[in-house]
Chain A
Amino acid sequence: MTRSREICYDLDELIADCATNKVSVTKQAREDAKEHYSLMDQAQILDFLSTGDFKNQDLEHDSTDELDKGNDAGTTFDAYTFRMGLKKYVYFAFYRRHNGIWIVKSFHPPQKGNWTAVLSYNPFANILERDKL
């Protein structure tokens, strides 16, 4: 994804709407948030976003593009990365539907860019692997 487009949405509007039931999270994003960040359901994800704390955690605009499939194909989405805690990073993408409802479509570890290595590097992986036996 290139950074060829300007940010489309006002992040503060999304944050404010997280507290007013105007934001929904896709099943895939929910499952990723649960697996990687221990946010167990949509309510917990929205509670987390509604604090706005992530804006102060190395927030960077990743990309802005158009959805290429699904009901909302052609709709513009914004994607960001931010830090959660000390080491983890989050790739977070969302868009606003024609009816004003926000959709969080992605909430998972970055799959490319500067923060990917931080997530995958574990010098003791081989040793710890033995504990799983």
Chain B
Amino acid sequence: MSATCPFCDSDDVTTIEVKEQFPVPFVGQVLVCHPVYRCNNCEEEGDFDHSLDKELDKRLDKENLASAPKLIDDLVRQGITMTFFEKALRLPFRTTARWKRGEISHSALALLRLIRFSPELLEVADENFSPATCRDYHMSRPMEFFAAHTINPSLTVSFADSNLAVTYEGGIQQHVPPKNIATGSTFPVAWEQAR
């Protein structure tokens, strides 16, 4: 198929194959080889006649939807059963089995990605998004950030004169193995007191 360059009106256009990387969440970059038009006059490249990107988008959809089984496996490895997943989100049981077989919509994939990003959302959903569960969820986000990224993280909570103060602290000078952070942390005690 010949196309005219929309940028300079030249007919000296050829089709070339390019290898391009596209991000797939929680999978990484996938390499896709796809055609593009190239203008030999102005050297612009692209889908000049709007015919090529449709096929590319189909391939990207396929790559993205194919990531669903990995996301489910990741959650299972974290100790989350798909029965709990379905219960917490009020989905019909065995829904995720269909997802894993490839029968998954874009909206379902979006939901799966959110849960893979923050599995604790399942606890919030399971508690019907109650204010107390939502508060715990939000308060625990910075705590987990400090636990994962700082040395000797600590949480201080004080309440005086009608003022509630929460302070997260942690060192960033040198690397400490994650297991030391977990066992040496003062988070759990302070957190329980805060609650």
Contact = CB atoms under 8 A, between A and B. Distances in A.
B6 A127 contact: no
| Dominant SS among interface residues on chain B | loop
B149 A43 contact: no
Interface in B101-135: none
B150 interface: yes
Contacts of A97: 6
Contacts of B9: 99
A40 B22 contact: yes
A41 B53 contact: yes
B60 interface: yes
Contacts of B49: 21
| Dominant SS among interface residues on chain A | mixed
Contact of B50 (A21, A44, A103): A21
Interface string A103-133: 1000000000000000000001011101100
B86 interface: no
Contacts of A42: 46-47, 50, 53
Interface in A26-52: 26-27, 30, 38, 40-44
A131 B126 CA distance: 32
B22 A26 contact: no
Interface in A64-101: 70-71, 97, 99, 101
Interface of A: 21, 24-27, 30, 38, 40-44, 70-71, 97, 99, 101, 103, 124, 126-128, 130-131
* 5 tightest Cβ-Cβ pairs between the two chains A and B: A43-B53, A24-B6, A21-B50, A71-B8, A41-B53
Given A24-B6, A24-B48, A128-B149, 5 more contacts: A26-B7, A38-B23, A40-B56, A41-B47, A126-B172
